[in-house]
Amino acid sequence: MEKEKPGIYFNKDNSFRVVYHQTVILAVMDSVGHEQFQKAKTPNMDKGGFTNFSPAYAGATWTIPSVVHMMTGRLPLYGGREQILPSCYWLPKRFHDWGGSTHYIAAVGIPTHIIKYCWDTFDFPDRGERYAENLINKALNIMKEFPTKRKFFYIHFEDTHSPYECKGNGGEGSTDWRIKEILKYNSRTAEIEPEYFEYLKKRQIETIEHMDKVLKPLIDMESTLMITSDHSDCFGKCHYFGHDNSRIHKLLEVPLLVRV
Ligand SMILES: [Zn+2]
């Protein structure tokens, strides 16, 4: 029988099955909302053959529960860690069952909370090594060196998170955001000037445009690739700045590009 090409195939009973490429990548740009993504110029993503499902809805309004939602499909999650048992649906386990190896590379502090179950490699680089270029290089090295043909990557980028620093706009893209100027503005107590919001929005757009360049090697390769975000950031909408576990629906609106 001829091998099926990657794609989505519908069965007679209206169920469907997905035939993946040998390399499957879920790339998550932290804190990128649908509106901000629309404003960014992303020529590589535009030409990448994606279906654009934006705005899609993240599973939670901050990182950990949103990532756990991606792994489990469960809703609602507020903390995202207590609920997980190995018997739960767990995305990397699905890829193991498919005969693939699984690789987790993340720049945001998820590993202390999330179960490290079913990852063949689990990489949480040191501060100073978390910029997007480094994460991509780690993935490319694994692709060359890991023996299995089928591979699933979860890659979580921090460059787009506040204070929106990447190598493309003068930062390292690896931010000790706790000590940055941005956080002298406490979102619950301080009024932020509208001009400052505009400045922050512009900076985040720069980081999204930078991500478009950095992701090019993944976009150009034969792969099943999904690009999305774990939640949005608010820049004054709903009288709110940033993101946390607030139940603000705007925080859920994210981009979602899928290429099977
Ligand atoms: Zn996040």
**122 Cα to the center of ligand 1, angstroms:** 18
Residue 250 CA to residue 195 CA, distance in Å, equals 21
**260 Cα to the center of ligand 1, angstroms:** 25
**227 Cα to the center of ligand 1, angstroms:** 14
**108 Cα to the center of ligand 1, angstroms:** 8
Measuring CA to CA, how many Å separate 245 from each of 74, 162, 207, 252? 16, 16, 24, 11
**CA dihedral in degrees (142, 204, 91, 216; nearest 10)?**
-40
Residue 210 CA to residue 17 CA, distance in Å, equals 34
Vertex 257 angle, CA 256 and 258, to 5°: 120
**75 Cα to the center of ligand 1, angstroms:** 17
Q: Which residues pair with 228 in a beta bridge?
A: 28, 256
Closest Cα to residue 231, out of 37, 42, 50?
37
- Give the E-state strand segments of 125-190 in sequence order: 151-157
**62 Cα to the center of ligand 1, angstroms:** 5
Helix axes 194-214, 132-145, angle to 10 degrees: 20
Per-residue buried b or exposed e for 162-198, using 16+ beta carbons within 10 Å of the residue's own CB: bbbbbbbbebbbbbeeeeeebeeeebeeeeeeeeeee
Measuring CA to CA, how many Å separate 256 from each of 7, 70, 151, 234, 243? 17, 12, 21, 18, 19
Closest Cα to residue 220, out of 67, 35, 48?
48
Domain 24-259 indexed as CATH 3.40.720.10: yes
**196 Cα to the center of ligand 1, angstroms:** 21
Phi, psi of 211 (to 5 degrees): -60, -35
All residues at 6 or more sequence positions from 179 whose CB lies less than 8 Å from its CB, including other chains = none
Q: What is the mean pLDDT of each run of 10 residues along the chain (260 residues)?
A: 80 88 96 97 97 94 89 77 71 91 86 73 87 96 93 95 84 55 53 80 94 97 96 83 83 96
**155 Cα to the center of ligand 1, angstroms:** 12
